[in-house]
Structure 1
Amino acid sequence: MLRRILLGFGANAFSQGVSIAIQLFSLPLFLLYWDSSTYGTWLLLSAIPAYVNMADVGMVTTAGNKMAMAVGRSDLAEANNVYQSAQLFMAIVCCALAVILTPVALFGPLPDFMTTDMRVALAAMLCGVLIALYGGLSEAVFRATGRYAVGTMLGQLVRLAEWGGAMVGLILFRSFSGVALCSLFARAVGAGIGIVLAQRGGQGLLLGFRHASTDELKSMARPAISFMAFPLANALSFQGVTLLVGVIAGASAVAVFNTYRTIARVAVQVTSMFSHALGPEFSRLFGNGDMATLEAVFRRSAALSAAQSVAVSVVLYFVSPWLLRVWTHGRIEFDPSLMGWLLLYAAVGGMWHAPRVLLQATNQHVGIAGWSLVAGVLSVALAWAFGYFWQVDGVGAAMFVSEAFIAAICIYIAADLFAQSKTEVKVRPTLGE
């Protein structure tokens, strides 16, 4: 287990590295062949397909968790029922969206500035997102069969190949459609390779629809839809708060605030690399009914995550003046008060990451999903109230308070999960008598 967790941590670190590399190299490469106006148009165009990312309504994640739990208790029949039911659902959703959205992108009533080149690019990007959504089931197979690190690495290599395809299209064709079509080709090839490799070590998890079941899909509907609450809550606490900062203190304050928050969230990202690697182990132990081992692993990992989050936050507080000076070329100065509030927010955010992963990995997240939306609304409301009196510092304080609120609830729900399991163990002999 420790080996799998360490490999998973390494794979997640690689994922962060890929994200950083793509962000660093994309801008200069695009601006080498396009002017800033053309690049800006590309960014606006590529933002549209991002909304299709939620089309699976959480089904892939829910199915992956349930498959891992079924494999954990050696119930291959149940795992195949879940896997093939999810395949059927995703095939219907992805094919239906492709049939609807592709003609709309190519021939539908879109703004007048949309050229044929832009329409082809939009259609290709939409198809790429749908292929990625269906390909997520392959990563779920890797996760369920003890190969989380391999699946994560493969997924990031496909993502890197997709970006590389886009750069090849940029260099060869220098058009929107050229970039998008080359990217689509790389994504399609990568998804095909992922499906093949997932099946080779799939431990009996098979492609097809023969074992698909509508009852299985119905049983996964509630936890799947509940997963949608988390991105919505993030949108409130990130984009919503960012807009409020602009209203309260102006555009220049937004640049300062977002820069500070980016630095502070390094603590959360470091913690997430560790806690997400624990997800497959949580699923496996929960599915096997080994609650004692699950609790022991959870408590140790939660303590380690909390210590990790606090330690990184403290280090960031002392190095952030230097980071700001180097990263922004001295244009953004160090404000100890604002940085302190945001690092407190990040430290608390890291503390409840392991409990949240536990609940999500075992499909016990329905309760915390609703509370996450409440916390998202609370963050915006408090940011408005505190910001009115204390400006940007008040916004930072509001984020800390709302994060502490949801952290306390999440930790309580996770603890209650183990308390209930102990109660059931005590009650069972009495019922048997």
Structure 2
Amino acid sequence: MSLRRRTVDNTVANIVGVGLTALAQLATVPVLSAAWGIAGFGTWLMLATIPTWLALGDFGFGTAATAEMIAAAARGERARVVAVFQSVLLLTLLAAATAVALASPLLVADRLPGLPGWAAAHGPAVAVLVAYAAAALVSRLFLAALRASGHYASATIAFETATCLECLAMLGAALLGADHLGCALVLLGCRAVMTAAFAALLTHRVPDLRPGLAHASAADLRRLLSPAVATLAFPIAFAVNIQGMTLVAGTVLSPVAVAVLEPVRTASRVAIQVTGAVNRATMPEFAAATARGDHAAVRKLVAVNVGVAAGVLLPGAAAFVLLGRTVVEIWSGGRIVPEAGFVLLMGIAMLIHGLWHFTANLLLAVNAHADFARVLVASALVSVAAAVPAAHLFGLDGIAGTVLLSESLCLLGVCHAVDRSGLAKAWAPARAVPAP
């Protein structure tokens, strides 16, 4: 199959995934705000930050291992692929089991001394969401193994379909009267089934990557340590920036402010989801081409990413600034009406985010992201720290301003990282050599 065909298939799969995610998100706001009220919906959004934080449980090894497996497969090193997969599977299972064990006392949070009322009331839901996040860690590793083995498109569609159905099942439970704990239990049950199904799919499609630990080794984990630590910066920064802002809005302002922030931020990222569909589709091909030293293919893939970013992000940002307020109001059934200034700031931040994010993903695909990782984490920490006084002074506009600050720092950082990595020349369009 040609590079063009693989890239198109991967892109179509990602677009399907974006559509399914959008379907779930479109249903979430009106269903949960109607079932629980704005305050109850805001509380769920705060509880839902837990799976995001627990996604850090593989310490970045999952993403680093994916890049390593793709590169090894491109060089025909199947034994290396198996060793990397099983080594990271061992680490992931240990991290998941540890998280569940540490959270299990929260199942009886009302009997634990010293816990504040809010934590005691929602402790069981927190424990169940931790177990859900642990299962999600394992399921995503199986997805990564399928993608690294040439099954990117089919595995992506299957995973995104299952995730959408999982969300719709949770929403159905809420409509039937389930509380936060009940909905968390529905998510956990669905993810357990999904994880088992993907283990079976991996065994069927790629028999030599069947789940097992016989080839796991500490040596492989040590070799992956450096890129994994740098990779960990991405989920840490996103969790700090995205979920940190959610917690700042909820604690400094109110759960109602969270219920305004999240739909606006979700709507602002529609254009990013479209560009990301192409960007993520090119990552395995980009990693394989780089491993083979195929500079012509590398340049083609960079050109595709630049073209899509320019053609989608600019009009997408303009459309959000003009129509975002109305879209959120209609989406929420008139319950959420954000201020125009807040929407403007979030639209500008979205544009800047899209510009740096596609470049950072290409660095990530070839484990050349260490320099940018430091900037990414620093910008997230600075912006969340600044959001606390900004929220006190300016409300949601202050939070949006600090998001814009963070994205601007990241854009500067990724440009510097590409220059320092020495990849800028390899990515630049080839110049015609004049005839002698």
Q: Normalising by structure 2, what TM-score?
A: 0.78
Alignment correspondent of 2:211: 207
Q: Find the partner of 1:52 among 31, 37, 54.
A: 54
What aligned pairs does 1:103-114 form with structure 2 within 5 A after superposition? 105=107, 109=112, 111=115
Q: Find the partner of 2:408 among 379, 404, 407.
A: 404
Map Cα deviations across residues 284-337 of structure 1 (whole Å, 9 max, x no partner): 2222232442133213322432332112223334444653664574974774x6
Q: Find the partner of 2:236 among 202, 223, 232.
A: 232
SS in 1 for 2:375: helix
Map Cα deviations across residues 143-189 of structure 1 (whole Å, 9 max, x no partner): 10222222222222222343355467668895766544444333222
Change over 3 Å in CA distance of 1:180–1:304 after alignment to 2: closer
Q: Which amino acid aligns with 2:77?
A: D
SS in 2 for 1:209: coil
Instruction: Report how many aligned residue pairs link the two structures.
Output: 421
Distance 2:38 2:329 in 1: 26
**Percentage of identical aligned residues:** 25
Q: Find the partner of 2:189 among 172, 185, 205.
A: 185
SS in 2 for 1:306: helix
Alignment correspondent of 1:86: 88
Q: Normalising by structure 1, what TM-score?
A: 0.78
Distance 1:394 1:122 in 2: 29
Q: Which amino acid aligns with 1:144?
A: A
Alignment correspondent of 1:426: none
Alignment correspondent of 2:78: 76
SS in 2 for 1:363: coil
What aligned pairs does 1:299-314 form with structure 2 within 5 A after superposition? 299-314=303-318
Which structure has the larger Rg?
Answer: 1
Structure 1 stretch displaced more, 247-256 or 84-93 = 247-256
What aligned pairs does 1:246-257 form with structure 2 within 5 A after superposition? none
Alignment correspondent of 1:151: 155
**Aligned Cα root-mean-square deviation (Å):** 4.4
Distance 1:253 1:176 in 2: 19
Give yes or no for contact 1:102–1:123 (8 Å, CA) kept in 2. Answer: yes
Q: Quote the offset at 1:367 in angstroms.
A: 1.2
Map Cα deviations across residues 197-217 of structure 1 (whole Å, 9 max, x no partner): 123222733432222121110
Structure 1 stretch displaced more, 362-371 or 262-271 = 262-271
Q: Which amino acid aligns with 2:200?
A: V
Q: Which amino acid aligns with 1:67?
A: M
Map Cα deviations across residues 50-102 of structure 1 (whole Å, 9 max, x no partner): 54332111121111121111111111111111011112212222234334433
Distance 2:304 2:33 in 1: 47
Q: Find the partner of 1:13 among 15, 27, 37.
A: 15
Distance 1:393 1:175 in 2: 31
Give yes or no for contact 2:329–2:335 (8 Å, CA) kept in 1. Answer: yes
Structure 1 stretch displaced more, 149-158 or 324-333 = 324-333
Distance 1:389 1:186 in 2: 42
Distance 1:251 1:171 in 2: 21
What aligned pairs does 1:92-107 form with structure 2 within 5 A after superposition? 92-102=94-104, 105=107
Give yes or no for contact 1:338–1:396 (8 Å, CA) kept in 2. Answer: yes
SS in 1 for 2:15: helix
Distance 1:96 1:10 in 2: 37
Distance 1:28 1:374 in 2: 35
Map Cα deviations across residues 387-415 of structure 1 (whole Å, 9 max, x no partner): 99999778756654542332133134235
Map Cα deviations across residues 8-66 of structure 1 (whole Å, 9 max, x no partner): 33333333333333344446656887788887776666655554332111121111121
Structure 1 stretch displaced more, 393-402 or 192-201 = 393-402
What aligned pairs does 1:292-371 form with structure 2 within 5 A after superposition? 292-320=296-324, 322-323=326-327, 326-327=330-331, 329=334, 332=337, 335=340, 339-371=343-375
Distance 2:181 2:242 in 1: 32
Q: Which amino acid aligns with 2:220?
A: E
Distance 1:317 1:16 in 2: 21
Change over 3 Å in CA distance of 1:404–1:185 after alignment to 2: closer
Give yes or no for contact 1:117–1:176 (8 Å, CA) kept in 2. Answer: no
Distance 1:249 1:97 in 2: 30
Unmatched tracts of structure 2, length 5 or more: 427-436
Change over 3 Å in CA distance of 1:123–1:203 after alignment to 2: same
What aligned pairs does 1:169-180 form with structure 2 within 5 A after superposition? 174=178, 179-180=183-184
Change over 3 Å in CA distance of 1:421–1:80 after alignment to 2: farther
Structure 1 stretch displaced more, 242-251 or 259-268 = 242-251
SS in 2 for 1:364: coil
Alignment correspondent of 1:290: 294
Alignment correspondent of 1:3: 5
Alignment correspondent of 2:272: 268
Map Cα deviations across residues 262-301 of structure 1 (whole Å, 9 max, x no partner): 5433332322222122221122222223244213321332
Q: Which amino acid aligns with 1:148?
A: Y
Change over 3 Å in CA distance of 1:379–1:117 after alignment to 2: closer
Alignment correspondent of 1:425: none
Give yes or no for contact 2:106–2:126 (8 Å, CA) kept in 1. Answer: no
Indicate whether 1:160 and 2:169 are aligned.
no
Give yes or no for contact 1:264–1:346 (8 Å, CA) kept in 2. Answer: yes
Give yes or no for contact 2:170–2:187 (8 Å, CA) kept in 1. Answer: yes
Give yes or no for contact 1:117–1:175 (8 Å, CA) kept in 2. Answer: no
